[in-house]
Amino acid sequence: MDHFAIQELINAARSVQGTFELRRPDFTAASVGAALRASSGAFLTGVSVHLACGIGFCAEHAAVAEMLKHRETCIQAIVSVTAQAVLPPCGRCRELMLQLNAKNSEAQVVLPNYAVVRLRDLLPEHWLVP
């Protein structure tokens, strides 16, 4: 994945990121934005939601849900961002992506400093054998 492609993905994630308040000041949305490129080449985005009782969700989950609405399951590349940084996906998001499609083990995950790794490298010795 070249620098231009990485930056294009980061820009798509940043276009939806931007924290705003929900019902209370500690309930927020969009502090994290995510963008993924599906196997079709489509760019899909999502934002995080922070609520009480753990019922919120990660931006990657929202982007994946958007992809599923288009009846796609295979991810070419994904990134998540805050206003200041690129973030690696949490374990729950990594697991979600891999369980959707075995091919997602080859998905490129953008990390800080423009590093790119395969999802499989973030989930070594995975319990779910394809």
The verdict on pTM exceeding 0.85 is yes
Tens digit of pLDDT for each residue in 3-54?
A: 999 999 999 999 999 999 999 999 999 999 999 999 999 999 999 999 999 8
> 28-33 — which CB contacts under 8 Å span 24+ positions?
30/59, 31/82, 31/83, 32/58, 32/59, 32/80, 32/81, 32/82, 32/87, 33/59, 33/80, 33/81
Tens digit of pLDDT for each residue in 84-130?
A: 999 999 999 999 999 999 999 999 999 999 999 999 999 988 887 65
Which CATH number, 1.10.3720.10, 3.40.140.10, 3.40.1110.10, 3.30.1360.30, labels domain 3-122? 3.40.140.10
pLDDT at residue 106, rounded to an integer: 97
